[in-house]
Structures are given as structure tokens and as C-alpha cells.
């Protein structure tokens, strides 16, 4: 079961500083590291801050935790938007495909939907903590109207294979879902991740 550290009201600059500090720490013991990051609207202002930081991006591989099965130049593509921000800074952006073999991550950065989904592990997909595959092609049900596409997603075991994990959650409704998951009051995908991740989880909310 995760140990939770809740940081309320942190601005984007503080979240970016946390991510940079954790990556600097990981790079102090490894020549190269990998991080998995979420899509959606919340992380991209933080990515913009990180892109202008003094991180040695050429030593960092960035994996989306999930993506929509669209071309990279499609507005709904997570990897396309991540690439546009972080590749000019020097990061190696790794597209997520159904046959990908993700590495061990220095940091698993996650978001959460109001229904308790993480990455594209929606409740209807019944994600398993012992899934033998690190990546799954999935169809959310219902399909979100703003992004009605099949998805590819890291599974819970791939997300758990990380030194640390963090969430950035905006909104009181989502906070209630997250708190209930952390307390063991539901069995949503986020709750399954929190039960399985054996280290500290930092939640900016």
C-alpha cells in the first residue's frame, strides 16, 4: 500500500520544481532515466516550465502513460503535444504503441479522471494489478466525447515499475474520488494502483 504525501494548493511552478528535483536526483546515479507523464490539459503548462529548466534533457526519455490511437499531428495525440514541448529541449520522446516495452521509470506522473481512471485504464477495462502485459489497447466505455478514440495505455504493473509516483489532481470532485480510493473505499483503477504501489505517492491537489 502506498504512503501518501498530499500537497494542497501547489502552483505549477512548484510542481515543475518537484519533478525537476526528482529527475536530477535520479540522474545523479544513472546516466539516463525515463519518466512517464500524463496527457489531458493539466500537465502541459507544467511541461512548458520544465522545458525551460536546466534539466539535461538529452539524458531523459519521456513516455506518455497513454495515448489516443491517432496520428501524432492530430490534436488529440498526447505524444504529439509532448514532443512539441519537450523534444526542442532535448528530451527523447517515446511513442506508446501496443508492442512497446516500457522501461523502469524514475518517476511515474499520473493524472486521474473523475471516474477514477488513470492513464487510459478506465473502470470498464477492469485493469488488473498482475496484468502480464505492460501495454494494452483499450476502448473506454463510454467514449469521452472530447476524445472518442481507442487508446493504448501502460498497465498497472508498468506504472508501478517506478521509483516514485505522483499525481496532479485539480478540482474538489476529483479530490473526493482520490481520497476515497486512498482510504480503500472504492475499487476504481486509481485505488488498485495505490494499493499496489509500494512506495511514496505524492499528490498535488
Supply the CATH number for residue 62's domain: 3.40.50.1360
Q: List strands edge to edge, sheet with 105-110.
A: 3-7, 200-204, 162-168, 105-110, 33-37, 60-64, 92-93
pLDDT at 11: 96
- Reported as a pLDDT band with limits 50, 70 and 90, residue 2 is low
- The pLDDT, as a whole number, for residue 47 is 96
Share of the chain above pLDDT 70, in %: 99
Average pLDDT in the 130-135 region? Answer: 98
Domain residue limits at 8 = 3-204
The mean per-residue pLDDT over the stretch 181-188 comes to 94
pTM: 0.94
The x, y and z cell numbers of residue 150, run together, are 481507442
Question: Rounded mean pLDDT of 160-181?
Answer: 95
Number of domains in the chain: 1
**For residue 142, what pLDDT band results from cuts at 50, 70 and 90?**
confident
- Of 65, 81, 63, 85, the closest CA to residue 73 belongs to 81
Residues 167-191, mean pLDDT to the nearest whole number: 95
Q: Is the pLDDT of residue 1 over 70?
A: no
Look at residue 30 in the predicted model and tell me its pLDDT: 95
Rounded average pLDDT over 35-61:
95
Decide: 201 and 135 in contact? Cβ < 8 Å.
no
Question: Under 8 Å CB-to-CB from 89, ≥6 apart: which residues?
Answer: 50, 51, 52, 55, 57
Amino acid at each position: 500500500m502506498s504512503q501518501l504525501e498530499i500537497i494542497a494548493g501547489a502552483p505549477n511552478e512548484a510542481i515543475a520544481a518537484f519533478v525537476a528535483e526528482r529527475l536530477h536526483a535520479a540522474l545523479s546515479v544513472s546516466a539516463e532515466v525515463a519518466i512517464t507523464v500524463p496527457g489531458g490539459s493539466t500537465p502541459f503548462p507544467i511541461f512548458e516550465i520544465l522545458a525551460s529548466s536546466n534539466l539535461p534533457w538529452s539524458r531523459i526519455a519521456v513516455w506518455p502513460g497513454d495515448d489516443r490511437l491517432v496520428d501524432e499531428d492530430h490534436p488529440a495525440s498526447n505524444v504529439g503535444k509532448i514532443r512539441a514541448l519537450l523534444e526542442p529541449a532535448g528530451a527523447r520522446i517515446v511513442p506508446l504503441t501496443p508492442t512497446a516495452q516500457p522501461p523502469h521509470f524514475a518517476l511515474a506522473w499520473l493524472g486521474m479522471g473523475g471516474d477514477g481512471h488513470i492513464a487510459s485504464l478506465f473502470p470498464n477495462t477492469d485493469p488488473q494489478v498482475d496484468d502480464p502485459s505492460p501495454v494494452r489497447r483499450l476502448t473506454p466505455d463510454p467514449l469521452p466525447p472530447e476524445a472518442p478514440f481507442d487508446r493504448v495505455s501502460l498497465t498497472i504493473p508498468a506504472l508501478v515499475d517506478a521509483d516514485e509516483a505522483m499525481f496532479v489532481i485539480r478540482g474538489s470532485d476529483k479530490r473526493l474520488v482520490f481520497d476515497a480510493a486512498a482510504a480503500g473505499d472504492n475499487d476504481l483503477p486509481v485505488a488498485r494502483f495505490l494499493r499496489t504501489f509500494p512506495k511514496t505517492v505524492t499528490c498535488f491537489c
